[in-house]
Amino acid sequence: MNRNLIVCACTSLLLGGVACENSAKVDQAKAEQAQRESDQNTARAEQEAAEKRAKAQREADDKSAQANAEARKDIAQGQAKANENIREVNQDLLKARSDLQVRAQKSVGDLDNKIDKIKADAQKAPAKGQTDFVAAMRDVDVKRSTLDSDLRSINSEPPQQLDSLKAKVDKDLDELKKSIDTAQNKL
């Protein structure tokens, strides 16, 4: 009987040990399955996060590219407008220079005709009148030379000095007229 008892006890222990061993294997398998599922969930979450980051980056890149394109467009429009304004200013400047030159040349032509006329009249004047006339004509020649110098500078003067040159040419014309009148009165 002892023997039966021992056999029973051994069998019981054996079965209990096998059951424990089977339970440990099942627990191990369950733990491994849980780890695999956790790893798969983690990988899925990381992939989703990576896709969201990539999508957000694409959207940011698209917005940035769109903003850059709009900025380049605005810059190009601004430059075109500035170029148009520059052309208009240059045209106005060319017109102002041309108007000044035409007006001054017309006045100079009229004054040159007057000079030629009084020189012809001087040929008929008495000797005393001619001497005074020659002295007065030196002043006319100096003023005419100054006017010529100013007229040559019309095309080379900087735009910001064109108004002052115009005033100087007008003054030179007035002084030349007065000098011619003075010479004519000497006859």
**75-113 pLDDT, tens digit each:** 999 999 999 999 999 999 999 999 999 999 999 999 999
Question: Quick check: is 32 in a domain?
Answer: no
Domain total of the chain: 1
Q: What is the pLDDT of residue 109?
A: 96
Q: What is the pLDDT of residue 127?
A: 81
**What tens digit of pLDDT does each residue of 141-150 get?**
999 999 999 9
Question: Quick check: is 79 in a domain?
Answer: no
pTM (2 d.p.): 0.60
| pLDDT band of 129, cuts 50, 70, 90 | confident
Domain of residue 151 covers 99-185
Mean pLDDT, rounded, for 4-32: 66
Rounded distance between C-alpha atoms, residue 115 and residue 157, angstroms: 29
Question: Quick check: is 167 in a domain?
Answer: yes
Mean pLDDT, rounded, for 153-177: 94
Q: What is the pLDDT of residue 40?
A: 95
Question: Quick check: is 58 in a domain?
Answer: no
Q: Tell me the Cα Rg of the chain.
A: 54
Distances (CA, A) of 133 to 1, 52, 101, 109, 112: 173, 100, 30, 21, 16
Window from 5-14, 20-29, 74-83 with minimum mean pLDDT = 5-14
Residue 20 has pLDDT above 60, yes or no: no
Question: Quick check: is 169 in a domain?
Answer: yes
Question: Quick check: is 53 in a domain?
Answer: no
Question: Quick check: is 6 in a domain?
Answer: no
Q: Cβ of 172: how many Cβ atoms within 10 Å?
A: 21
Question: Quick check: is 82 in a domain?
Answer: no
Vertex 126 angle, CA 121 and 130, to 5°:
65
Q: What is the mean pLDDT of the chain?
A: 89
